[in-house]
Homo-oligomer: A and B are copies of this chain.
Amino acid sequence: MPPLTKEVVKFGAFVVTNQVFHLTPLSYALVNIKPLLPGHVLVSPKRVVPRFNDLSSAEVTDLFLTVQRVSRMVERVFKASALNIAIQDGADAGQSVPHVHTHIIPRNHDDLAGEGGTDAIYGMMEGEEGDLGRQLREADEKRVDGGRKRRGRFPPVDADESREPRNEEEMQQEAEWLAEEMAKEKQTEN
């Protein structure tokens, strides 16, 4: 299946067209290169601006109606009971790519019991695991390298293999799957 759109979708300086699973007039949703938990996705305005306050009222409205629809879908598909919804608005709040993005992270009871409890998600968001900018740069370098084996620049924080950065094919497959799930969501929404 080809990507959802022929327009080039940018997340900061990065082209993420193949990771996009939902598009609206002013926003888009993309799968994550290194999800902190299954179903961890991002929703951004199409316009590349760094701060929430840079958005027009129309963009704010479109962004959060999209966050609501996408969060309903990932909660259903990933069988979650709760969600973390968060914007790191500016570098001093932990933002690593200067383009407004809302994290949506499906949660379950005791899903991080082995890693320090419910709150562990935030340390993960802020650590190297959550540093989207570095991961995307690394993915770009890997692409330029023609697939040369990635040096282990990021030591794994635990034994969970699902935390390894994913390749483009994996991300595109997930994007296609979630695009189908979004279509179901639209049919059932109020």
**Which residues of A pack against B, CB within 8 Å?**
52-53, 55, 57, 60-61, 63-65, 68, 71-72, 75, 80-95, 105, 107-109, 111, 117-119, 121-123, 125-127
Separation of A108 and B91 alpha carbons in the complex (Å): 9
Identify 27 residue pairs between A and B in the complex whose beta-carbon atoms are under 8 Å apart, listed by A's number: A52-B83, A55-B68, A57-B65, A60-B64, A60-B65, A61-B61, A61-B64, A61-B65, A63-B64, A64-B64, A71-B89, A80-B92, A82-B90, A82-B95, A83-B90, A83-B93, A84-B89, A85-B86, A85-B89, A90-B107, A92-B111, A93-B105, A119-B122, A119-B125, A121-B122, A122-B126, A123-B123
Known: A64-B64, A93-B105. 17 other contacts (CB 8 A): A52-B71, A52-B83, A53-B68, A53-B72, A53-B75, A81-B91, A82-B92, A83-B87, A84-B87, A85-B87, A86-B86, A90-B107, A92-B107, A119-B126, A122-B123, A122-B126, A123-B123
| Given contact pairs A64-B61, A91-B82, A119 touches B127 in the complex (Cβ within 8 A) | yes
Residues on the B chain within 8 Å of A117, using CB: 126
Q: What distance in Å separates the Cβ of A145 from its nearest Cβ neighbour in chain B?
A: 31
Would A82 and B89 count as touching, CB distance under 8 A? yes
Return the chain B residue nearest A87 by Cβ: B85
Q: What distance in Å separates the Cβ of A41 from its nearest Cβ neighbour in chain B?
A: 14
Residues on the B chain within 8 Å of A85, using CB: 52, 86-87, 89
Q: What distance in Å separates the Cβ of A70 from its nearest Cβ neighbour in chain B?
A: 11
Return the chain B residue nearest A104 by Cβ: B89
- Most B-side CB within 10 Å, residue of A65, A105, A109, A118: A118
Residues on the B chain within 8 Å of A86, using CB: 84-87
